[in-house]
Structures are given as structure tokens and as C-alpha cells.
Structure 1
Amino acid sequence: MCFWKGSFVQQMVVLFVFLFGFLPHIVNKTICIPPILKAHSNSCREFSQSGDLFIGQIASRFYLVNFTHIFNKQPSSVLNKDIIVVPKNYQEILALVFTMEEIKKNPTILPNVTVGYHIYESYHSVQRTYKASLDLVSTQHKRLPNYKCDTQNNLIAILGSKYSELSLNLANIVNSYKIPQFTIGSLDSRFVERKLFPSLYRMVPNNNYEYNGVVHLLLHFGWTWVGLLTVEYFSGERFLQALVPRLYLNDICIAFIKSIRPWGYAIDMSGKWNIDVPKISDAMNNKTSANIIVVYGTPVVMDILIWYLHMAHLPSGKVLLVTSHWDFKTTSKSPWNMQSFQGALSLSVHSNEPPGFRTFLQNLNPSEAKENCLMQDFWEKAFNCSLKKNNVGDKIKKFCNVEEKLESLPLSIFDTGMTGNSYAVYNAVHTVLHVLHSMYKSISKYRRQLHYFLKGISFNNSAGETIQFDENGKLVAGFDVTNWVMSPNKSFGRVKIGSLDLRAPRGKELTIQDDSIVWHSKYNQVLPISVCNDKCRPGHRRKEKEGKPFCCYDCVPCPEGKISNQTDMDACTRCPEDQYPNLDQSQCIPKVITYLSYEEPLGMTLVFSAIAFALTTALIMVIFIKHKNTPIVKANNQSLTYVLLISLLLCFLCSFLFIGQPGQVSCFLQQSAFGIIFSVALSSVLAKTIIVVLAFMATKPGSRMRKWLGNRLGKSIVLSCTSVQTGICAFWLSTSPPYAHTDMHSLMGKIIAECKEGSVSMFYGVMGYMGFLAAVTFTVAFLARKLPDSFNEAKFITFSMVVFCSVWISFVPAYLSTKGKYTVAVELFAILSSSAGLLFCIFFPKFYVIVFRPELNNREQLKCNKA
């Protein structure tokens, strides 16, 4: 009994197809054909093996290339003149056969059930794919969906095409039947939505993962200037729509976008090639600066590209980065020039060869091929020979013999190693049969629902890998990174150099063995560079070129005080305050703390000078104390002499407050101590000068100045003058005292450890008051310099004040024009030199007389008038 089965809508669709599409194929009565199909003619376009259940496969061994339609006669059913054979695609069919035989030998899987298969050819054609789909879900060769004969059509799963468009067409037919469809090739993003394709199971990641992988590869090798080569078809447009935004988001620029016409447009009506030669020439020759070309590697694009490069003899030297759609297959055994593909990289569907697969292929021989339509067809296409003797009409003159070996075929014709698509077929078949096994063992109410068990399937295949689907019906898998290498005998081989797992932690998605890559001979095994211009070295930044892509830029040096420590930085950065740029402005160097230290030569010189002057002062004091009763010591007020010597000694010793790393205590004391001590010294000199003047005035008859002479006058002058400076310093220290400070910016590469004045006005007040005392002392001494005496001290005081004033007048501009430790050194030099000037100018003549000319140290000599 034959009947229709399905919903009302499906029955209406079937009726429409029956009436308008396939009615001419139906004869007077319906003929029911058993489900066990035999091989058909027309070069083995179908092939089957019987079983209780069977798996359907849509193969793509051929390409339809001639789309010329003639409507004045009946179309021929023979396609031999309109197709191109790709022997390498046979491996996907052989992978199905191998897997079936492997499972048959496993007694633990479906021991009481036989599973067969039915293989249909799609010719890489939408129309033929629809036809094959209808054949699979119908009573065979009636193409009436839901039309069943007495013998049930036990189709349990379909292995779909590896091409996205054909998979979509297949899904549109079989989705309503809830038959699991397993895709074995990379799919575009339209298949991501699980609700639209609930029966679709992906054995490889979709295109989004692949395009992300392309970006990872480009970034890994630092390629930011690339060309794109695709096909003039909506799949090529989607490729560009998906990849181009990803490139721009990762700072990768596109040098050009070229497209190649599909086969149907590549050959015109007259059968001649209709290829846009300038497009491919511009992309592949050395005139373009992009050394990397990302190719949407459909077989159409690659076959035309291979043919063109062979015919044009272009010295390309470009590195091709090809998507996973291409597995380096050609339709000819001709020795085409493949040098341009040396060093190409591709993302390949992950594969792992099961044990025994290579042996299975190697054991294939012509004797088996004679009894097997599929094997016969494959063998004749692969070796370009005939298994039929005395076939006069056969154009192939060579007769096949036992000398043909699959391993002797070039890689472009056939690969004895399992490809990614074949591995997907292998895993898909295992998945279906493991699920069936679980169903037969289950007592669940979902026992008859294959999809229910597919959700939780997980097993280890014979290759040692875990097969498991995620919630979106996608096999948890990644891609292999393949390097295409030409051997010395001009044959091509593929070498796995890495893997791509986008589920891995961030930064570890791509694993590449860089040392294993063989590049095009043009690069002499040096990593190819593909950038619009050379990278900006550290110390420079990028500056956009007007009207150019952002990957094209000029390199300008970083401004002063800023650095760039990486290549191709968009902006320079300023160093932290405690660091400074090196000469190349490529890194920040810690600043060195600088101050006037004891260890450096300048500091040591000042320390030794201060010690020498202090010891000299102490020696003079000892001499004066020892000879305190001599006329020359008594003549000039002993107490003021001692006060002056002590103050000068302290002036020399206060220099140590300025040397060494400034601290809070030293900064607090140094300026005030120096100011007060120097004020004592100057007021002592002033007192001595005034007393000298008064002493000469008191010698005149009737002078009242005699009552002013004595120690009280000198003490009064010293105390009053010093108290003013002490008051200024006390007010300074109580309101805005000096403090320790680090200056980060005044000197390049230096951190100046210094004492800040706190209140600058108070600092100059202290200095100004000392200047006032010095000016008054100099004026009085200058007026008294010609008083009649053989040892007039006013002369020496005048000369000492000239030295003192000269030093401090020159100190002001020198102090203001120096920075850091040199500012301190200038102040110390002024302190030491002015103090030494007072010491030597006032006391050295007396010291000389006391030590070297004691005969002059008597009262008569001091009273002697030289004038």
C-alpha cells in the first residue's frame, strides 16, 4: 500500500510539486521500489549500501561549469561535458565507507542492526542539491515528499554538504522532517540561530569563528596592511561584511579588495575564459605594498587563481592566508606552476587521523574498483585511466593496472591523510550510530527521538578525541593552522603548525609553532612584513597622513619630557615625577637625587676649606690668647677681638649645615644660624672700627669722647646689632621657616634635594640686614683709614670690608643663576671667602708681627706716627 504522510501544508506542497514539477516522470501507475538502491549509471552519480537503517550523504565530487541553456531541444541527462571532476573530494565518501566498516567490526555498537548509506551527487549546484534532497526524503526516484510505499524509508540522518549555500538549501527541505543534518564544512552566520534550524548539527565552527581566527593570525604576525580576494557572489559579499569590520576594530587596514567571477561567469558563451585579468594582476603582482592577501578560499576562487597564476607567470611572492573552504585541491594533474602558493597559510577544519584510515586507502586497488561503481569511478578519475578493456568509445586510452597507488598522487589530486572535512564525516557517522545505540538501550519516553539523545551525546572516538555538542548543536572544536609547503620535487604538502581554539582563555586562543613555518623563498625564511609603512620606533609617535587609511602614518619624535616605549604608539606619555626620559625618549629612567654631598669633589673641597679656615682661626685665637699682654693685642680691644674670632670660627663651622642631604633640622638652622653668626662678626668689626675712631678723637685736648671708651661700648654695639638680626630670624622661623624640599623639574634627570627658604622676603631681609651692617662698617672704616698711627686697624678693616662686600655683591647674581647643589656651593663659597677675607685682612698683619716680628710688638712702635 502506498500513502502520503504529513501535515496539510506539506501535502499541498507535495501536490504542487507533483502536478507541475515531476508529473512527466510518473507513468500510468505508481511503482513501489524497495529501499535498497543499486548504483546508477551516468558515471556513478548515486551509490548505496543496504541496511535496516541508512544515512544519506550529499557529495560534491563535480562542478557544473557550463550554464549555457539551449531551449530548442530536450536537455541532455548526460552531464559529462558540463562538469569538472575533483578527485580529492572522493575522500569524504571514502571516509563514510571507512567509518561504516570500522563500526561493523565493533560488536558493542548496534550489534543487531545493520546501517547502510545512500550517496547522492550535488554537482555543487543548488538545483541538484534540491533534487537530491527530495530523493532522500521520498520513495526513491519518485520525488514525492511524504509519499511512502509498503516498505518504510528508514532515513535516520543526512551528511550535508561542506558548502554553506548547499547546506542551507538542504536544510530548507529536511528541516520539516526533523531529520538530523550534519554539516561537514564551515558555515556562515545564518546558521547560528538554533530556532531556525533545529535539526542542523555543525561538525565545524561557523564562519564567525573562522573570521576571528583570521584576525588572530594577522595580529600574531603583526600584519596590518592586507589585501582581500573573494568571489563575485553573495557568499563573497557576506565574507567582506563579516571580516572588514573585524579588521578595522583590530587596527588592520585593507590595501585593496578584489573579486573573481564564479565558474559560470568565468567562462563565456563561447567556452573561453572570461577573467578580469587586471583585477588579479593588481592583487598578486609586486606593485602593491601589501604582502599578505586574505583569500576567501572557495574552490572556485582557488581554481581560477591557480590557473591564472600558472598562465600569467607572475612573480608574486605574496603570502596567501586562505579560509577553510579550500583544501588545496585542483581538477587537473597538469604540472601547473604552484610556486606562488609556497608558504601559504590556511585555517583548516580540525582533523585527527583515526587508526587504520591511511591503510584503508592504501589497500584500495583496481580489482575492487571493477566490482564497485564508486571505486571504479574514483579510480578512473584519480589516475586518468580506464578499467574497461577494448572500450572503443572511451577517450581514455590508458588502461588501469596494479601499479597505480594512491600515495603516488600529488596532494592537489588526492590526500591519503585525513582532511578536516573527512574527519567531520567520520565524527558525524560515529555520532549518529552512538546515538542510535543509546536509543535502543534506553527505556526513556524519548526513545524514538534522535534529537533528544544528540543533546547529551559525548564519547571518545578511535582517534582519542572527545566528541560532544554544545547547546547550539555545534561540535566543540576549533581549527588547525596549516602551512602549505612545496618540496624539491615540486609536490605540495600540508604541515600543521598550530591550532585555533576560541574557547581558550583570552590571549591563548592561538597556538603557533613559528619556527616550523616555511615561508615563500622570496623572504629567505624571515617573517614577511606587511605594513603600510615602517613601524614607528620607540621614542616616536604616529601622525596620521591626511587622506590615507589609519595604518598609513608618519613617525614624529616625542616632545621633550615625553616618551613612547612601544612601537606604533598613538601618543607619547609623560614620565612620572621621579623619572625622566632617556636620550632616545624610549623609556623612563629613575631620577638621581642630587645635593651637595661630602663624597663629591666639590663638597670635599668646601669641607676641607672650611676645616682649614676654622683651624687657622683657632690657631690665631690661641696665639692671641698666649700673647694677650702684648701691646698689639691690647691695643684693639681684646674682648671684641675674641668675639670676632669666635664668630668667624662659627661661620666656618656653620658651613657643615649646608653640606649633605638636607633634612628638616639642617634646613631650619642653616640660614638663621649663618645670619646671626655673621651679624655678630660684622657688628664686632663695626664696634672695633667705631672704637678706633673714638680713640683718636679722645686724644685731642678737652675731648669728651674719652667717657665713651671702654668695653661697654663695644658690647653694646655687638648686642644691639645682633639682636636686630636675631629678631628677624625669630620672626622668620615662627611664621614661615625654611623646610626640606625635593625639586623634580628644575634639572633634567635630577631630583634636587634642597632647603626652601619658606619666606623669600624674610631670607632677603636677613641678607639685606647683613649688607646694611657691612655698608656701615665699610663707610666708618673708610673714613678712619688715614688716622695717624703706624698700626691703624681701620686700614685693615676697610680692606677686609672691600673683600667682604665684593664677595656678597657678586653672590647675588650667581645665587640666582644656579640650581641645585651649585646654589648651595655658591652660598658656601661666599660664606667661606668673606669670612676668610675678614680673618686674613684684619688678623694676619697682627699675627705676622706677633709671630715673625716680635720686636715691633711694643708701645713705642704702636705710637709712632708715620704720617
Structure 2
Amino acid sequence: MSRVSLLLTGWLVVMVSRDVGLRVGLEGVQTSMCSRWGSPLDKSSQGLFKDGDVVIGGLFNIHYIPSVIDLGFLQPPLLIPCTGLEIESLQYVYAMEFAVEEINRNPSILPGVRLSYRILDCCGRHPWAMKEALSLVGGDSQSWGLSVPVIIGGASSTTAMILSRTLASLSVPVISYLASCPCLSDRHRFPNFFRTIPSDVYQAKIMARLAILFNWTWIGAVIANNDYGRLAIQAFQEEIEGSGVCLAFSEPLNRETIEEDAKRAATTIQHSTARVILLFCWYTDVRVLFLQLANRNVTDRQFLASEALSTSRDLFQDVAILNVASGVLGVAIRSAEIPGFKRFLHSLKPSNRPDDLFLREFWEKEFGCSLSTTPSNPQSMSDGSTTNISTASHASRSPLAATLSLCTGRETLEGVQNSFTDTTSLRAEYNAYLAVYAAAHALHSLLSCPDKESSPGDNSTTCSSPYNIIQKELLEHLNKVNFTTPNGEEFFFQGADIPAAYDLVNWKTTPDGSLKLVLIGRVDGLELHLNKTSIEWTTGSSQVPISICSERCPPGTRRANRKGEPVCCFDCIPCADGEVSNETGSHQCRQCPIEFWPNPAHTVCIPRKVDFLSFNETMGIVLTTGAVSGVVVTTAVFVIFLCYHNTPVVRANNSELSFLLLLSLKLCFLCALVFIGRPSVWSCRLQQAAFGISFVLCVSCLQVKTIVVLAAFRSARPGGGGLMKWFGPGQQRGSVCLFTSIQVIICIIWLSLSPPTPHHDLGFQGSKVNLQCAMSSVVGFAVVLGYIGFLACLCLLLAFLARKLPDNFNEAKFITFSMLIFCAVWVAFIPAYISSPGKYSVAVEIFAILASSYGLLLCIFAPKCFIILLRPERNTKKHLMGR
């Protein structure tokens, strides 16, 4: 709207509000307006009139006029005459006229009152709309002094705002059939406004629900840079909040700079990864955008269109944009039938309506002929009623009329197929039709009231005169309107609005390559009734297009938002250990119960497998082989010693203790096998007891052997002859039994009070549950190890003291070295055992048993077997006594 228009609006409101009487003031306003905006004889003053008791005003954009060139405040704006007849708007006019005639024939609505109309052309300009509205309300000479109590008009939201604000102080109701801006629902700002088209809030919510329904999470938008576009996209964003749908971009289009804006928007669409584009703008602007996309060969975008363009024949019948526009999915104004309206349109003829300049212009354009330019008698009668029109008959004719042949008068609209005669999908026409009925029922409620003395069904008594209607009272009745339409639908206002009702349409390709509009669903309230299988998408197939920023995360992964990007753009991260995700697009993984573990794909929790050190696995086989080999080697040494038990090497080193030591080593190797296999109650008790007793027996033998060596060499010194009697064979066996008995007692107490038991270790994070022997009493196990360690350290100390005795008779140095290995192994065992998880702790213990056993076996018996088998010359008493 130009600055001059804004100033004029304010000036008009001031002028109107100052005059309490209204009639005189309005005449002055109209005269002033006509002097400013042109003669009333131009096309902006053309109208269609019908006399009667109550006049309903109608404002329609029957002709199109280019934008006013605003030259500032120093001179009046440059006016350009109306050009081009709007066929669709002409159909709205006749829908209003048909509704008035239908109401006049209905005895149950306004009985005894003749409804009439005065329909004026606004040319799509706000100043003309204000001028014509004030002329209707003021009751100028052309309306025989009758003021209009209600106006049906406001083909755009901006025009409706201006009309409502201008006429609000007069309490004149304005009923719009096309103004859908959500802002008009504000009853504080627009208390006198009503509409028979749903608010754009509803269609924005419906489009958001369609996006959610088809899983379109990454959507672009092209909007009109006005309240229509901005408020619609705002409502869309509010509806998609929290649903996972994001807006990739929003490109505004300005009517004044449409070429540049369309190029910019087309470039954005071309380079965006969004495959679904919302369109909240007028169809003329969208055509420019589609042409730009066609030039760039961008034909793979799915458009979701608002009602402003979804039913535009100018778009889906345009061959230049055919490839871009195919498959458009749109929200459209609810279509309906008007019984008898098609017959009414076909009956229209200029010969029957000589003063109808709109029909005259359409007739000449449709049939390519010229009607007689002789003015008709303004007072001619038709259907028993008087129809008047302004005297601008010559101005209404096409400049080419003079070059056309005269019409024959036999032309008829029967069989004519065009947008004017097409009544299969009446949308805005039906809204205009409903607006007339709403006004008529409000007038009926205002003018009729039951007589107290008459029957309840007699409403013949009028409470108000049709010639003196108070607009404020009519406004109150209009707020309470509730009636059933001729189609059987219930109609009522919710404030300024009506309940949401839309059609869902699809632009489908016909066999001849053109596009046609197909109804694929309906919307009642916010409930979708959609036939998905009948939709033809932009790809030409029934496959729903995909429009996402990031692929949905498969099961087993979760979404991780990218920093600084919308929530629809994310990365898919595999679930961590112990977590699963069995849904596509999951935002987080869930922890498995402790008895379960994820499958390899992290999609489901499965029971953990019981895990223990078995004989079948590689580690169990290796350890078993090591233990069996130790038993075999120990047995072989035992056989060698048994065969050579009379030789000096065997006899010199206390053959009885050597055989006992070999037996204990064999037990050590065998006890390692008890640790392998599925733990049971008895195996858990046996393995620790066998381990503790076997090693104490082994170390006790070494301890006694070391003491015997020390005692033997001490007794060889002067005064030490009696020392060996305390360490004879009986004392040696007794000492071994004593040391071993202490360990046996410890094990008995431990196993009696708190023995090891089989236990499922659920704390270990893994796909398997570790079945192991749990130490119910760590103290008992520590005492067993501690006692073994004490004997080993004591043995090491004694062997160290005897290391310098004569070589040929000294076994102490081999015992020293073997005990060093023994102690090193078990010192390293403690941290390794504690830090090893599950069955690996058992393997560490078995390894320590085998390593220490092999160490003792090799260090003590390998040198002796070497002499016995390979150096028999050294296996003599002379050699042993040589030093």
C-alpha cells in the first residue's frame, strides 16, 4: 500500500468519525474521493444493482489494475485505468446474485422483505475499495439513498483490514470470502470482521501435518513477503516444533521485485538438499518462480502449495512450466455444489440483461463479437424486478469492439467449456454464496421476532424496520448466526472464523501431457482424510519423495546433533557397549539389563553366555598341555631316580626327600587341571585346597633338604658331630609332615567357614557372564598364599646361607635359584591376578602354578638327570668326594 493510500485511509476515518449523522459527511467524503481518484464514470465505478427493501453491498475485483506509481506528496499519484476482466471474480459476482435471488424465493428467510444488492468493482486497489465501501455505507445517489448495512468483500487480507478498520467505528459488518490472514481473527482489532474462508493458521497446520505424515524432515519455503506469507510460515513452524521437521530456508517474494526475488529463490532451491518446497504466495508470483526453475531444469522438487495457488488454472495449464509443476500437492478451499447455479450461469444473456456491463464485456471477449453500443433503457424490467447499472457503458467496452462483427444474439453459454461455466469445483464462489446466506440469516434474526400472542412458529412480526437497520444490532446478530446451508451443512462463526474445511488436491499428468486438478482428500477441522495411493508425485510415480537433511539412523545407532546446525541434521553414532537401539531414528540407546548383552548389531539384548576356562578353547588346551607335560616330565624323572636310586648322585642328595619332592611336584602339575572346566561346588573347594597343600608339601621338602645340607656340613666341623642326630630320616619326614599339616589345618578352617563357590560375575561388561569360583573369604585365600610365601622365603634364606659349601656336595645353590624363580613368579602373580577379568584370572593362577612347578623341577632335577644320563663318569663317590 502506498503512502498516499495510507494517508487517505486515515483521513477518511477521521472524516467519517467526526460526523455523527454520517449521511452528509459520507457524501462529502465521496465527493472528495471522486475528485482525487477519478471520475465515477471509469471502470472502478461500474456496478450491478438490484432494488429491494434491504441492500447488501458487494465489493469484487472484477477488473485488474496495475500498481499505482507513487510520485510522492507533491503531486497526485498517476492513475492507470482498469484493464482485463477477471473471469473468476465475475463468477463470484453471479454467485452472490444467485444467492440473493434464491433467498428471495425462500419464504422461510426474511418473509415479506425483499433482499437486494449493490455490487461494485474495486479493480484490486485498496483506495477504490475504500471509496466504494464508503459510497455503499453512505447511501449515495446511485443507491437511491439507501445505506448498506453489511458489506461482502475484501478479496485480500490487506483490503479486508482496511475495510474493517475504516468501517469499525460505524459498526458495519464486513464478510470476506477470501481474506485468510490469521491477524483478522483478532476481535479487538477487527470487531466487525467475519469471513467464510478458514484462517491461514489452519492450512499452515495442515501442511505441517502432511510433512510429518510423509516424513519430510527437511523442507524449504517460498513465501510472499507480507502478512499472508510471514504469518503462515510462523504457524507452520509452531506446528512442526518438536516433531523433527526443520525448515531448510525461507525465501520471500516481493511483488515489486518479483523477477530478482524469483531468481534468488530458484538458485536457493537448486542448491538446497531439501526436496520438498512449501509455497505460501500468490499464483502470479509462483509462475515467475516456476519459469526460473524450468530454465535451470530443476524438475525434481516436490511442491506443497497453499490455497492461494493450488487451484490456479493459469499455473497447471501453462505449458512452459509443465515439467516443474507436475505432481504439486496442495491445500485448497473446500469445494461444494450450488444447486441450480450452473443453470443460472447458462441462462445469462446480454439480451436479457442489457444493463449488465460485466456480462457484456465477457460476452464480447468469449464469442469474439461486438454487442450493440446503443445504451439500454435503464428502467427496463426483467423477471419483475428492476436492475440498474452505472452509465459507463462505453467505458466498459473493449478497444477492439469497433473492429468486431456484431453478435447475432443466438450465442449461448450452453456447451461452453471455460472457467466461467465450470461449476464442478466451486470454492471462492461458494464462500461468497455462504457470505450472502450468513448476512441474510443475521438480517432475518434482526428483523423478525415472535409475537407474544401468536404461536411460537409465527415470526411474521418484525422488531425492526428494514429501512432503518442499526448496524451495531446487526453485528450482534451476525455473531450468533447458526443455520443449515442448502447443502445440509451446519454454518456458524467462531468469532470471525469458521471451522477449518479444506480439500487436498494433486496436479496429475493426463495422457495428452497436460495437467489436471484431482481431489485426493479432505480436511475437517484438523483431521486428514487422504488417499495416499492416488497421489502422483513430482517423480511421476506413487513413491513418496524423500526430503531429509540426514538419513535416519538405522537400528543399533543413535542420533547425535551437529553443532550449530538444525536438529534435522545429525550424525549416526553406534551404540556403546551394553546399549541397544531397535528403532530407526532413535535419539538415544538404552542400557541392557545386567543379565543381558547386545547382539553384534546392537539392536536387541540377548542373554549372556556363561563363560569359563574350558578344555575346548585354545587357552585351556595350552594350559592343559603344559600341566600334562609337567606330569609326564616329573614321572620320567621319578623313573630315572628310581632306576638309579643306588648311584651316588641320588643317594648323596637324600633320595627319600627327592622322591617326595617329585611326588609333590606331580601333585602341583595335576592341581592345575582342577582349575580348568566348569566350576562346581566341589571343584571350587578342591582346587584351592589342592593348590595350597601341594605347594606347601613341595616347599617343605626343599626346606628340609636345605636344613639337612646345612646340618651335614655343620656336623663335619669340630664339635658338631651330634647335630645330624637331630636331622635323621625320621626328623626329616616329621618336619615335612609338620609343615604340611599346618597348611592342611588352614585349608580345613577356610573351607569349613567360607569356602569358594561358583559365581556368575555380572559386573564384567561383556557378552558373556563369567562363571568362576568366587572367594567368599579373601582372608582365607590370603593366609594360604601367605603361608606358602613364608615357607618359600625361609627356604630361600637358608639356601642362600648354604650357597658357598663345597660344590660337589652342595645342592643349596640350585635350591636358591629355584626359590628365586618361585618367589618371583608368585610376587608377579598377585597384581596380575587382581587385574585380570573373568576367566583370565584363573588362567593367570594356572600359569603361576605351572611356571613355579617347572622352575622347581628344572632347577633341582635337571642337573642331576644330566649327570645320571649324560655324564655317568661324574656319578661316582670319588668324584663327589673329590673336593
Which residue in the other structure is 1:827 paired with? 845
1:840-851 to 2 correspondence within 5 Å?
none
Quote the offset at 1:160 in angstroms: 2.8
Partner-residue secondary structure (3-state), 2:512: coil
Q: Which amino acid aligns with 1:19?
A: G
Q: CA-to-partner distance for each residue in 1:50-75, whole Å, 9 max, x for gaps?
A: 5554543322232212636999xxx9
Tell me whether 702-711 or 651-660 shows the greater mean CA deviation. Answer: 651-660
Which residue in the other structure is 1:855 paired with? none
Verify: 1:518 aligned to 2:573, yes or no: no
Tell me whether 57-66 or 694-703 shows the greater mean CA deviation. Answer: 694-703
Quote the offset at 1:527 in angstroms: 1.5
1:115-154 to 2 correspondence within 5 Å?
115-139=115-139, 141=141
Q: Which amino acid aligns with 1:297?
A: C
Q: Which amino acid aligns with 1:228?
A: V
Which residue in the other structure is 2:163 paired with? 170
1:215-364 to 2 correspondence within 5 Å?
215-217=208-210, 220-222=214-216, 224=218, 226=220, 228-231=222-225, 252-253=246-247, 255=249, 257-262=251-256, 277-284=259-266, 288-290=270-272, 293-302=277-286, 315-317=297-299, 318-329=301-312, 337-339=320-322, 341-343=324-326, 345=328, 347-354=330-337, 357=339, 360-361=341-342, 364=345
* Runs of 5+ consecutive residues of structure 1 not aligned to the other structure: 1-5, 27-39, 263-274, 624-631, 845-861
TM-score (norm 1): 0.66
Cα 1:820–1:193 shift into 2, 3 Å: same
Q: Which amino acid aligns with 1:408?
A: Q
Quote the offset at 1:806 in angstroms: 9.1
Which residue in the other structure is 2:385 paired with? none
Paired with 2:783 and 2:102, the residues of 1 have a C-alpha distance of 101
Q: Which amino acid aligns with 2:161?
A: L
Which residue in the other structure is 2:470 paired with? none
Which residue in the other structure is 2:645 paired with? none
Contact 1:96 1:425 in 2 (8 A): yes
Quote the offset at 1:519 in angstroms: 0.8
Cα 1:177–1:674 shift into 2, 3 Å: farther
Contact 1:309 1:340 in 2 (8 A): no
Q: CA-to-partner distance for each residue in 1:330-375, whole Å, 9 max, x for gaps?
A: 6799965231552364653441423x65x74277436656424388
Quote the offset at 1:309 in angstroms: 5.5
Q: Which amino acid aligns with 2:695?
A: F
Cα 1:80–1:205 shift into 2, 3 Å: same
Cα 1:382–1:691 shift into 2, 3 Å: farther
Which residue in the other structure is 2:793 paired with? 772
Q: Which amino acid aligns with 1:289?
A: H
Cα 1:650–1:294 shift into 2, 3 Å: same
Cα 1:23–1:260 shift into 2, 3 Å: closer
How many residues are treated as equivalent by the alignment?
778
Cα 1:323–1:371 shift into 2, 3 Å: same
Quote the offset at 1:81 in angstroms: 5.3
Quote the offset at 1:86 in angstroms: 2.0
Which residue in the other structure is 1:59 paired with? 60
Q: CA-to-partner distance for each residue in 1:805-857, whole Å, 9 max, x for gaps?
A: 7976886797688644233223234436766998999999xxxxxxxxxxxxx
Contact 2:334 2:503 in 1 (8 A): yes
Tell me whether 647-656 or 702-711 shows the greater mean CA deviation. Answer: 647-656
Which residue in the other structure is 2:872 paired with? none
Paired with 1:376 and 1:813, the residues of 2 have a C-alpha distance of 104
Q: CA-to-partner distance for each residue in 1:99-123, whole Å, 9 max, x for gaps?
A: 5566678776666665444433222
Task: Select which of 360, 363, 366 maps to 1:380.
Answer: 363
Paired with 1:693 and 1:10, the residues of 2 have a C-alpha distance of 137
Contact 1:52 1:116 in 2 (8 A): yes
Paired with 2:316 and 2:249, the residues of 1 have a C-alpha distance of 34
Quote the offset at 1:193 in angstroms: 1.9
Q: Which amino acid aligns with 1:595?
A: D
Task: Select which of 11, 22, 26 maps to 2:20.
Answer: 11
Quote the offset at 1:124 in angstroms: 1.6
Quote the offset at 1:481 in angstroms: 3.8
Cα 1:671–1:478 shift into 2, 3 Å: farther
Cα 1:498–1:582 shift into 2, 3 Å: farther
* Runs of 5+ consecutive residues of structure 2 not aligned to the other structure: 1-14, 36-40, 375-399, 451-455, 465-472, 640-649, 863-874
Paired with 1:673 and 1:441, the residues of 2 have a C-alpha distance of 112
Paired with 2:139 and 2:373, the residues of 1 have a C-alpha distance of 38
Task: Select which of 491, 495, 506 maps to 1:467.
Answer: 491
- Tell me how large the CA RMSD over aligned residues is: 6.6
Task: Select which of 184, 207, 214 maps to 1:191.
Answer: 184
1:30-45 to 2 correspondence within 5 Å?
45=46
Partner-residue secondary structure (3-state), 1:485: strand
Cα 1:816–1:172 shift into 2, 3 Å: closer
Paired with 1:702 and 1:313, the residues of 2 have a C-alpha distance of 121
Partner-residue secondary structure (3-state), 1:165: helix
Partner-residue secondary structure (3-state), 1:228: strand
Which residue in the other structure is 2:423 paired with? 416
Paired with 1:143 and 1:403, the residues of 2 have a C-alpha distance of 31
Cα 1:512–1:551 shift into 2, 3 Å: farther
Cα 1:143–1:177 shift into 2, 3 Å: farther
Partner-residue secondary structure (3-state), 2:92: helix
Contact 2:829 2:845 in 1 (8 A): yes
Q: Which amino acid aligns with 1:127?
A: P
Tell me whether 59-68 or 597-606 shows the greater mean CA deviation. Answer: 597-606
Partner-residue secondary structure (3-state), 1:56: strand
Q: Which amino acid aligns with 1:130?
A: M
Quote the offset at 1:477 in angstroms: 1.0
Cα 1:386–1:823 shift into 2, 3 Å: farther
Task: Select which of 696, 704, 707 maps to 1:679.
Answer: 696
1:272-671 to 2 correspondence within 5 Å?
277-284=259-266, 288-290=270-272, 293-302=277-286, 315-317=297-299, 318-329=301-312, 337-339=320-322, 341-343=324-326, 345=328, 347-354=330-337, 357=339, 360-361=341-342, 364-365=345-346, 368=349, 370-372=351-353, 373=356, 376-377=359-360, 380=363, 383=366, 385-386=368-369, 388=371, 393-396=401-404, 408-409=417-418, 415-433=422-440, 440=448, 461=485, 463=487, 465-470=489-494, 472-498=495-521, 513=532, 516-519=535-538, 527=545, 529=547, 541=560, 543-544=562-563, 592=608, 595-596=611-612, 598=614, 601-602=617-618, 605=621, 652=670, 656=674, 659-660=677-678
Partner-residue secondary structure (3-state), 2:499: coil
Q: Which amino acid aligns with 2:320?
A: N
Q: CA-to-partner distance for each residue in 1:148-178, whole Å, 9 max, x for gaps?
A: 5xxxx674x4433231112122223443454
Contact 2:796 2:816 in 1 (8 A): no
Contact 2:692 2:743 in 1 (8 A): no
Quote the offset at 1:480 in angstroms: 3.8
Which residue in the other structure is 1:161 paired with? 154
Contact 1:352 1:463 in 2 (8 A): no
Contact 2:194 2:497 in 1 (8 A): yes
Cα 1:68–1:684 shift into 2, 3 Å: closer
Quote the offset at 1:289 in angstroms: 0.9
Partner-residue secondary structure (3-state), 2:518: strand
Q: CA-to-partner distance for each residue in 1:655-713, whole Å, 9 max, x for gaps?
A: 656754799x9989976874466335533564577579879999999644234436565
Quote the offset at 1:180 in angstroms: 4.0
